[in-house]
């Protein structure tokens, strides 16, 4: 379970998170929507401890992410994150990209890591690209590889940060399908997204990030048909 309690976070004078609260249960899929530059990416990178916070607490399975005594490297093994910009490692083949962390971080043998990697890459439809370098892949393929790379660590949670935003429109579908597949398998996910139909169809709850807080969190039916907050209503009417 991920528990975000009253989290504040600033970059210098710029306060980005102003008391964020959110709990995500095991197996739940939560979509986060909101304007760009509002702090959604920041929130995700706070959850895996890439960014420090100013106050509040974030607990992952009861472990306080920003406590001094927390071993972040250990904690990150169970929190996968997939970024908007793919971040494929260009000097490694697709297979090496995916086996790197299982081998070097988890200490798996090459054979064991490759077995897992092939399984994950097959899952995302890249079984025929194992020995290809990422530079040869389309954006959608790179992003699916990044998803396989995160999943190869067998994380308990996966955070998706606008994973389709950098893709050409015709490639969005293949990545969203991969996400749907994961959601149906019961993966616990927080998805920052601009894809409203995805948020509606796949999420257990949808959250609206506005002015540094999650202004509204509700199941998709309610969120889209009867939003409580005027800001949510305005946001939704603007994107339609």
Partner 1 sequence: MFNYTFQWRQALQKLPLLLDGALVTLQIALMSMAMGIVFAVILAVARNSRSTLVSAPATAWVEVSRNTPALFQIYMAHFGLGSFGIHLSPYIALLAGITFNNAGYLAETFRGALRAIPGTQLRAARSLGMPSLQAFRLVIMPQMFRIAFLPTTNQMVWAILMTSLGVTVGMNSDLAGVTQDINVRSFRTFEIFAIAAVIYYLIAKAVTLGARLMAARLFRY
Ligand X SMILES: Nc1ncnc2c1ncn2[C@@H]1O[C@H](COP(=O)(O)OP(=O)(O)O)[C@@H](O)[C@H]1O
Of 95, 150, 175, 199, which one interacts with partner 1 (CB under 8 A)? Answer: 150
- The residues of the shown chain that bind ligand X, judged by CB under 6 A, are 11, 14, 16, 36-42
Q: Least distance from C-beta 14 to ligand X, angstroms?
A: 6
CB 117 within 8 A of CB 129: no
Q: What is the largest CA-CA distance in the chain?
A: 55
Based on the shown chain and the rule CB under 5 A, indicate whether residue 41 belongs to the binding site for Mg ion: yes
The residue among 199, 188, 204, 175 whose CA lies nearest residue 83 is 175
Among the listed ranges 33-41, 143-151, 182-190, 227-235, the one in contact with Mg ion (CB under 5 A) is 33-41
38 contact, one of ligand X, partner 1, Mg ion, none, CB 5-8 Å limit per kind: ligand X
Among the listed ranges 41-49, 139-147, 175-183, 206-214, the one in contact with Mg ion (CB under 5 A) is 41-49
How many residues sit close enough to partner 1 to count as binding (CB under 8 A)? 28
Of 73, 170, 237, 238, which one interacts with partner 1 (CB under 8 A)? Answer: 73
Task: List beta partners, residue 31.
Answer: 191, 206
Q: Least distance from C-beta 215 to partner 1, angstroms?
A: 27
21 contact, one of ligand X, Mg ion, partner 1, none, CB 5-8 Å limit per kind: none
3-state SS of the chain? CEEEEEEEEEECCEEEEEEEEEEECCCCEEEEEECCCCCHHHHHHHHCCCCCCCEEEEEECCEECCCCCCCHHHHHCCEEEECCCCCCCCCCCHHHHHHHHHHHCCCCCHHHHHHHHHHHHHHCCCHHHCCCCHHHCCHHHHHHHHHHHHHCCCCCEEEEECCCCCCCHHHHHHHHHHHHHHHHCCCEEEEECCCHHHHHHHCCEEEEEECCEEEEEECHHHHHHCCCCHHHHHHHHHHC
CB 164 within 8 A of CB 83: no
Q: Which is nearer to partner 1, 57 or 85 (CB)?
A: 85
Q: Least distance from C-beta 28 to partner 1, angstroms?
A: 21
Of 6, 25, 26, 74, which one interacts with partner 1 (CB under 8 A)? Answer: 74
Based on the shown chain and the rule CB under 8 A, indicate whether residue 26 belongs to the binding site for partner 1: no
Based on the shown chain and the rule CB under 8 A, indicate whether residue 134 belongs to the binding site for partner 1: yes
16 contact, one of ligand X, partner 1, Mg ion, none, CB 5-8 Å limit per kind: ligand X
Interface with partner 1 (CB under 8 A): 45, 48, 50, 73-74, 76-77, 79-81, 83, 85, 87, 89-91, 100-101, 104-106, 133-135, 146, 149-150, 153
């Amino acid at each position: 379970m991920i528990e975000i309690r009253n989290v504040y976070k600033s970059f210098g004078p710029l306060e980005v998170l102003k008391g964020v609260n959110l709990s995500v249960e095991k197996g739940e899929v939560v979509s986060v929507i909101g304007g760009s530059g509002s702090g959604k990416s920041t929130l995700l990178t706070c959850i895996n401890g890439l960014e420090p916070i100013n106050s509040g607490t974030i607990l992952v399975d009861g472990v306080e992410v920003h406590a001094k005594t927390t071993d972040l490297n250990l904690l990150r093994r169970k929190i996968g994150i997939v970024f908007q910009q793919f971040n494929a490692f260009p000097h490694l083949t697709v297979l090496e990209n995916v086996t790197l962390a299982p081998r070097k971080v988890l200490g798996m043998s090459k054979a064991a890591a490759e077995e897992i990697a092939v399984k994950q890459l097959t899952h995302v439809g890249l079984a025929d690209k194992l020995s290809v370098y990422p530079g040869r892949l389309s954006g959608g393929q790179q992003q699916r590889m990044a998803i396989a790379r995160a999943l190869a660590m067998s994380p308990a949670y996966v955070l998706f940060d606008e994973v389709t935003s950098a893709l050409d429109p015709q490639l969005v579908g293949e990545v969203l399908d991969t996400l749907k597949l994961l959601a149906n398998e019961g993966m616990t996910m927080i998805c920052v997204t601009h894809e409203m139909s995805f948020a509606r169809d796949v999420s257990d709850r949808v959250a609206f990030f506005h002015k540094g807080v999650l202004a509204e969190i509700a199941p998709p039916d309610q969120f889209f048909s009867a939003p409580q907050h005027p800001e949510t209503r305005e946001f939704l009417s603007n994107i339609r």
